[in-house]
Structure 1
């Protein structure tokens, strides 16, 4: 399935992730291995033409799930063409001191040159 949906037209605007669907999948695979209790709870989904927007609450620790003072507030915006994801943006707000520190430590590697907009 990954071969069907992976192509060079996927543009990633999260500066810490490489382009292409394989870049996103590779990141998520390693991330979940490092944080097996990671949760990504979608709170709202909005659709506007070719854009799909998820507003979500993510946590790294099982005991933080559902606690809106812990984890991250995330807005993911996906642009689709012909049923395929071709572009992704996100905005992430750390909700507690642990996540602010995590973001500071892990937010420095730039993996693409696409810009955030």
Structure 2
């Protein structure tokens, strides 16, 4: 697992499925800059957020649809399913330091609508 995109997937999956502390220990660098306005800066805020999500929504699931790596950036396109079959498409961006550790994160999330005017999926 040398590629940063493999590390980003492993990090996100581990945190999402209930082990955010282990995920940060394995994959996050000295700093962790967060751009999601619902999550504070730093690893402890990240851990708190994902531990709370695991307690409140233990049956959520995630599928990694695609991963793109360019330089020190990785983009993940995911499909999330939450309770009551709520479906979301997310796009996460991670910046890695020179040691191959995640140091910055941006994301965008959108609920998948029941209908589409163009008939195309969001993937």
Structure with bigger RCO (C-alpha 8 Å, 6+ apart): 1
Runs of 4 or more consecutive aligned structure 1 residues displaced over 2 Å after TM superposition: 1-7
Report 1:68-79 matches (<5 A).
Answer: 70-79=86-95
Which range moved further: 75-84 or 19-28?
19-28
The TM-score with structure 1 as length reference comes to 0.67
Q: Could you tell me which residue of structure 1 aligns to residue 103 of structure 2?
A: 86
CA contact (8 A) 2:29 2:103 kept: no
In 2: Cα distance, 1:55 partner to 1:94 partner: 13
Gaps of 5+ in 1: 65-69, 98-117
The TM-score with structure 2 as length reference comes to 0.64
Gaps of 5+ in 2: 1-21, 115-123
Q: Could you tell me which residue of structure 2 aligns to residue 22 of structure 1?
A: 44
Q: Quote the RMSD (CA, aligned, Å).
A: 2.2
CA contact (8 A) 1:10 1:87 kept: yes
1:21: how far off? 1.9
